[in-house]
Amino acid sequence: MVIDLPSELIDRLRAAQRIVAFTGAGISAESGLSTFRDKQTGLWAKYRPEDLATPQAFQRNPRMVWEWYEWRRGVAAKAEPNPGHYALAQIEAAHPGFFLATQNVDGLHARAGNRNLVELHGNIRRTICFDHRHPADSWAPTDEPPPRCAHCGSLLRPDVVWFGEPLRGDALVRAQQAAAQCDLFLSIGTSTMVYPAAELPFIAGSNGATVIEINPDFTPLSKLANFVLREKAGTALPAIAAAMLD
């Protein structure tokens, strides 16, 4: 579906030099990945995601948490970037001042071609150890998962931010600085309710940027955004990219 953008919005898109895109679960849902709090299926239907994504849950039952993330990794590996992801990669390729901050852990933005990005909540496809955060690209097979770190013997875990854990300071600082300095901010498929990441569009707006919300649903940002597109990312972002690159 092709959408018509307001002429004022098109003018601002074309004038933008420093662009920040901020994405949430909505853009990944269009690639078939359930949002984090959607009802789970199969063996995991009886568990709440919040009960499996904490350091305490891992300490109580590391095998269960590891196997849940193995299942999620398999689902993410089968997903493909959608037109929204590719549109953001096109915009980056044409604008050196483009920066992407995502709350998603599936790695789809990088697979679509984005390079100047931070993954605020980590990446489900990376693995670290629980005690010292040593990165692990491979590990010895074991009959009692999780496997252990080759450096220190600690149990391995996914490199994601769990409930109760802080965001990595360097990633958050980079995103905050980019938001404060941009002249165009795209908030895409995010509820803007999960802090501290949710503050990014408000930082941009308070520093004079044009803030565009792309979301089928109302959010706390909706009343403050300069433009609101009640569309899915896969519809709105190709139109935005076309307008910017025309």
**Residues marked as catalytic:** 121
| CA dihedral for 50, 70, 131, 23, sign (positive or negative) | negative
How far is CA 68 from each of CA 27, 145, 214, rounded to the nearest angstrom? 22, 11, 31
